[in-house]
Structure 1
Amino acid sequence: MNFKGFKSGTDIRGYGAEQFSDEPLYLSDEFVMAVAESFANWLGARTGKYTNEITVSIGRDSRVSGPRIMAAAITALTAKGVKVYSCGLASTPAMFMSTLDLKCDGAIQITASHHPWERNGLKFFTPEGGLEGENIAELLSMAEKIYGKSYRAEPSLCVENDYMKTYCSHLQEMIKKGVNAENYNKPLEGFKIIVDAGNGVGGFYATDVLAPLGADIEGSQFLDPDGMFPNHIPNPENAEAMDSVSKATVESHADLGIIFDTDVDRAGCVENNGEEINRNRLVALASYIALEGHDGGVIVTDSVTSDGLKEYIETIGGEHYRFKRGYRNVINKQIELNKAGKFCPLAMETSGHAAFKENYYLDDGAYLMTKIVILLARDKSGEAIKSILAPLKQPVEAKELRFSIKCDDFRAYGEKIIEELEKYYSGKDGWTIADDNREGMRISADKDNGNGWLLLRLSVHDPVMPFNMESNEKGGVKKIAVSFYEFIKQFDKLDISPIEGFLSE
């Protein structure tokens, strides 16, 4: 078994559904038990405690394989003498928060985020935050050495805990204090807010946060957990999912529509007219919230944000720090900048991961939406969000293509292409290389060459080179693509059929 193959960034990922038990990356009971014991041993080494002095909380999303994987993990943990709080269906951010509220040494969340129903995975937390990639590699190495052991569960060490009730109470109190309405306990009276949970675990936000505070949630959809995800992929980046929540918002005459991914660490939302608040618009809105009263604060984002967003952040008194893709990358940079004395209240990926400094640097979709709900409820006109986002300049056209690298040493090959790209456009009339390239190569085009920008980078994990283009005029993206094609066609180990197809349209 290739244990290293289960590593996916800062998570462990594989196939969870038993129909896929023949897959090399199947999360078998034996594998999960070995990983769970390794986490207990890792926590013991980290804290200086014996495993029978350790407490771990564990939760899961709605995937069909969740109960089996959770039971296997609990078996191994209790067999080692670990006290376990079994939290059942829970969001990923809630499982981190449980380490603080329940005084746990660690937490496990069983989830594969927005991936298909047959996949699953494990995320790990300590009270200091999520484990890093090197920690996951260490866990897998430890697990490989003990794989195949038999375990005898100790049921008395497993305690059921409805932690989501506590987590929801925190969000309710946050809204009450933030709105400070005349009817303090019903600050959302008169507002209609719908939620699309995509049959993940996010339905709690409608029924256990918004409704008790007086919000009308009629028109909410797909709140019931269903691990087969029968309606749409629970993913705010998915076009079908966003179209679904947009239609539901308009049809129900809601003031705001909210959509979560499966485990609620990401979110998106929709204005009352159905217009999406996603990607650059969502980063802009979150930046406005984070910079209130904090002029000069730094907002860290990933590399694919628009020029308009940078201008917007600077207009509202902030500084934009464009960094790398990968939510852990932007969060770790945020932490680094704060430690260096540079106030950085927000790190955010265009995918919807948003981490506020004030919230333990935790990427929490429900927390972000709570901040937006407070903004909405403070302004009785219902126009606050529209006016806040009005100055944000949106590109007229945008396109993303992905080129596969067809060689074993794909990283070296991709880095060579990026190096040659810089040489190709350096000094080329009408093109300007960005002065803040921290991932790949971003190059701006003047009005004669497409009036926009291009970005070529290496995928965080895969042998793929994502290629983004934006333009401020109709037809500009094609102009940019034509120029780029003249450069990229020389690389025979790169599958450039996506750009050839685009140019032939």
Structure 2
Amino acid sequence: MDLLKLQNGSDIRGIALEGVDGESVNLTAVGVWQIAASFSEILSKRLGKKVRISLGRDSRLSGKELLEAAAAGIEHSGCSAVDFGIATTPAMFMSIMDEDLDVDGAIMVTASHLPFNRNGMKFFMKEGGADKKLIREILENAEKNEYSDEFKLYSQCGKDNFLVKYAEGLRNYIIEKTGMEKPLAGTRIIVDAGNGAGGFFAGEFLEKLGADTDGSLYLDPDGMFPNHVPNPEDKTALEIIKKQVVDVKADLGIIFDTDVDRSAIIDSEGNAVNRNRLIALISAILLKEHPGSYIVTDSVTSKGLKKFIEDKGGVHHRFKRGYKNVINESIRLNEEGHESHIGIETSGHGALKENYFLDDGAFLAVKILTEFANMKKKGSDIFDLIRDYEDPAEEKEIRIKIGREDFLEYGKDVIQGIEEKASEIEGWSVEKPNYEGVRINCDENKGNGWFLLRMSLHDPVLPLNIESDSVGGCEIIEKKLLELLKEYEDLKY
């Protein structure tokens, strides 16, 4: 089996279960055994000792078997493992920072919001999550680890319920920042965990801080995800929690993805505070604490968000798609002397400087809840912070498929061609600086908005995002762009 094909940026992902037509299993227990053994070998070599690695998983049906295989691989390499059972991705990193546990690295078995038959692995060390280069090194080394039936897919690693301690750390944060033992007393806050790993947040965090969580949804882990896709961007998931917030008269709602590295908020009127609005809300909070901070986002953020951040005294630094990209860019800016307190994607991945630049959906929610509690004590509403945020009139995304094997080069040629043609079109101007694809601003007579055409991070696809401040503007922009794309015969849209 070619393990290198399992690389998905800075993660490993594959098909772990049969059950979907046309999708054959390529992430096996044996493969996970090899990969975990490889990670422990590489980390041991780096640290000059036999390491101890914590293991966690989300609620997927394949998770238990794959975690046990990972533990067996680690033990085969002469290292030791500790099994956290169902956990969150951010908790796995925080386990490394816990001196009592004395672990050197962590592996989370998860495929985030992907369907039930998928699974994957995320890797952490004290310096943070693995990058693309390390993932490739792990996989190349893994292919040298030949599995033998003598080793068995069985482990006797220790067990620990670290999620309880992780939740305690979140509680201590909000108590310290608000000066109240029960900062959420008198509020109703509901959680939609989507049958993933985030159900702990209702009982171990909210309720212990005084909140009423009655009406929360899908807190129990279920690897079939029977109610909705556990994804804060999914329209069905959002409609369910928006309705529930209104029906139970909650003060706000929180929705997590499967492994809780992403989240979104619902206000008391049932409005979703996600994507650009979520970035606006956390930016407003951070800019009160750190005036002038750079806010690093991905490339598809709204024109209204840029205006909002600048009006609040911040600097909007629009970078590339990919949560590791925005995190690393925020870290880079700090190293160069530009204060930056967050790297955040519109998908809900948000990593704060004060939290090790860890993309932690629970901590992002806690940061918002801290401001919610402090403002409530003063008789204010946290959502007043984004009352002046301006949504576009229209938004649209189109995924243009590339029917070529050399899709990367072809896609780059298309993007370059559109950028060159844009200078010849009246009412169009190329956005500079721009770190990904080509972003074109369109004046009031040409759609009153912008579009971004870029390469997908992994697939033979050109995602096209269009936004307009006028009703009908997206259609005007789309029509003109598609005329230009007709000369590229290997595009399908």
**Alpha-carbon distance in 2 for matches of 1:158, 1:283:** 40
**Structure 1 counterpart of 2:195, which letter?**
N
**Alpha-carbon distance in 2 for matches of 1:295, 1:178:** 18
Instruction: Give the aligned partner of residue 482 of structure 2.
Output: 485
**Alpha-carbon distance in 1 for matches of 2:38, 2:413:** 39
**Alpha-carbon distance in 2 for matches of 1:228, 1:23:** 17
- The answer on whether the counterparts of 2:447 and 2:477 sit within 8 Å (CA) in structure 1 is yes
**Alpha-carbon distance in 2 for matches of 1:6, 1:151:** 25
Residue from 297, 301, 317 that aligns with 1:301: 297
Deviation at 1:97, TM superposition (A): 0.4
- The answer on whether the counterparts of 1:197 and 1:261 sit within 8 Å (CA) in structure 2 is yes
1:378 aligns with 2:374: yes
Deviation at 1:25, TM superposition (A): 4.8
- The answer on whether the counterparts of 1:441 and 1:456 sit within 8 Å (CA) in structure 2 is yes
In terms of mean alpha carbon deviation, does 9-18 or 66-75 score higher? 9-18
Instruction: Give the aligned partner of residue 169 of structure 1.
Output: 168
**Alpha-carbon distance in 1 for matches of 2:348, 2:85:** 25
Instruction: Give the aligned partner of residue 420 of structure 2.
Output: 423
Residue from 276, 283, 289 that aligns with 1:280: 276
**Alpha-carbon distance in 2 for matches of 1:230, 1:445:** 43
1:261–1:198 CA distance, 2 compared to 1 (3 A): same
In terms of mean alpha carbon deviation, does 140-149 or 451-460 score higher? 140-149
Instruction: Give the aligned partner of residue 499 of structure 1.
Output: none
**Structure 2 counterpart of 1:108, which letter?**
I
1:34 aligns with 2:34: yes
**Alpha-carbon distance in 1 for matches of 2:421, 2:22:** 47
* Identity among equivalent pairs (%): 47
Deviation at 1:17, TM superposition (A): 2.1
- The answer on whether the counterparts of 1:256 and 1:271 sit within 8 Å (CA) in structure 2 is yes
CA deviations 1:80-116 (Å, max 9, x no partner) are 3322121111000000000110231110000000000
- SS at 1:137's partner residue? helix
Instruction: Give the aligned partner of residue 256 of structure 2.
Output: 260
- The answer on whether the counterparts of 2:167 and 2:201 sit within 8 Å (CA) in structure 1 is yes
In terms of mean alpha carbon deviation, does 136-145 or 227-236 score higher? 136-145
In terms of mean alpha carbon deviation, does 135-144 or 384-393 score higher? 384-393
**Structure 1 counterpart of 2:248, which letter?**
S
Residue from 429, 438, 442 that aligns with 1:441: 438
**Alpha-carbon distance in 2 for matches of 1:476, 1:126:** 47
Instruction: Give the aligned partner of residue 61 of structure 2.
Output: 64
Deviation at 1:22, TM superposition (A): 10
1:432–1:151 CA distance, 2 compared to 1 (3 A): farther
CA deviations 1:393-451 (Å, max 9, x no partner) are 11000000000100111111111111111111114221111012110011111111111
**Alpha-carbon distance in 2 for matches of 1:238, 1:5:** 27
Instruction: Give the aligned partner of residue 240 of structure 1.
Output: 236
**Alpha-carbon distance in 2 for matches of 1:471, 1:21:** 39
- SS at 1:345's partner residue? strand
**Structure 1 counterpart of 2:173, which letter?**
M
1:248–1:21 CA distance, 2 compared to 1 (3 A): closer
- SS at 2:295's partner residue? strand
**Alpha-carbon distance in 1 for matches of 2:72, 2:444:** 63
1:218 aligns with 2:217: no
- The answer on whether the counterparts of 2:30 and 2:153 sit within 8 Å (CA) in structure 1 is no
**Structure 1 counterpart of 2:40, which letter?**
A
CA deviations 1:248-290 (Å, max 9, x no partner) are 1111100010000000000011000000001000011111122
Deviation at 1:143, TM superposition (A): 1.1
**Alpha-carbon distance in 2 for matches of 1:361, 1:252:** 35
- The answer on whether the counterparts of 2:17 and 2:62 sit within 8 Å (CA) in structure 1 is yes
In terms of mean alpha carbon deviation, does 12-21 or 350-359 score higher? 12-21
**Alpha-carbon distance in 1 for matches of 2:295, 2:36:** 36
- SS at 1:200's partner residue? coil
Aligned positions of 1:116-155 closer than 5 A: 116-150=115-149, 152=151
Instruction: Give the aligned partner of residue 73 of structure 1.
Output: 70
**Alpha-carbon distance in 2 for matches of 1:431, 1:382:** 46
Deviation at 1:196, TM superposition (A): 0.2
Instruction: Give the aligned partner of residue 500 of structure 1.
Output: none
- SS at 1:379's partner residue? helix
**Alpha-carbon distance in 2 for matches of 1:489, 1:418:** 13
**Alpha-carbon distance in 2 for matches of 1:21, 1:95:** 33
Residue from 76, 79, 84 that aligns with 1:82: 79
Deviation at 1:73, TM superposition (A): 0.9
- The answer on whether the counterparts of 1:354 and 1:364 sit within 8 Å (CA) in structure 2 is yes
Instruction: Give the aligned partner of residue 46 of structure 2.
Output: 46
**Structure 2 counterpart of 1:421, which letter?**
I
What stretches of structure 1 of length at least 5 have no aligned partner?
497-505
Instruction: Give the aligned partner of residue 451 of structure 2.
Output: 454
**Structure 2 counterpart of 1:158, which letter?**
C
Deviation at 1:28, TM superposition (A): 1.6
Instruction: Give the aligned partner of residue 325 of structure 1.
Output: 321
Instruction: Give the aligned partner of residue 113 of structure 2.
Output: 114
**Alpha-carbon distance in 1 for matches of 2:424, 2:21:** 55
- The answer on whether the counterparts of 2:326 and 2:344 sit within 8 Å (CA) in structure 1 is yes
**Alpha-carbon distance in 1 for matches of 2:18, 2:459:** 26
**Structure 1 counterpart of 2:414, which letter?**
I
**Alpha-carbon distance in 2 for matches of 1:185, 1:79:** 46
Instruction: Give the aligned partner of residue 502 of structure 1.
Output: none
After superposition, the CA RMSD in angstroms is 1.7
Instruction: Give the aligned partner of residue 503 of structure 1.
Output: none
- The answer on whether the counterparts of 1:44 and 1:54 sit within 8 Å (CA) in structure 2 is yes
1:94 aligns with 2:81: no
- SS at 1:145's partner residue? coil
1:416–1:254 CA distance, 2 compared to 1 (3 A): same
1:79–1:315 CA distance, 2 compared to 1 (3 A): same
- The answer on whether the counterparts of 1:81 and 1:154 sit within 8 Å (CA) in structure 2 is no
**Alpha-carbon distance in 1 for matches of 2:429, 2:191:** 43
- The answer on whether the counterparts of 1:440 and 1:455 sit within 8 Å (CA) in structure 2 is yes
**Alpha-carbon distance in 2 for matches of 1:19, 1:482:** 40
In terms of mean alpha carbon deviation, does 125-134 or 71-80 score higher? 71-80
Deviation at 1:19, TM superposition (A): 5.2
**Structure 1 counterpart of 2:485, which letter?**
I
- The answer on whether the counterparts of 1:6 and 1:25 sit within 8 Å (CA) in structure 2 is no
Instruction: Give the aligned partner of residue 223 of structure 2.
Output: 227
Deviation at 1:18, TM superposition (A): 5.4
Deviation at 1:79, TM superposition (A): 2.7
1:355–1:215 CA distance, 2 compared to 1 (3 A): same
**Structure 2 counterpart of 1:349, which letter?**
E
- SS at 1:67's partner residue? helix
CA deviations 1:450-491 (Å, max 9, x no partner) are 110011000011110000100101111111111112211111
- The answer on whether the counterparts of 2:18 and 2:25 sit within 8 Å (CA) in structure 1 is no
Normalised by the size of structure 1, how large is the TM-score? 0.94
In terms of mean alpha carbon deviation, does 360-369 or 139-148 score higher? 139-148
Number of corresponding residues? 490
**Structure 2 counterpart of 1:493, which letter?**
D
Residue from 403, 406, 409 that aligns with 1:409: 406
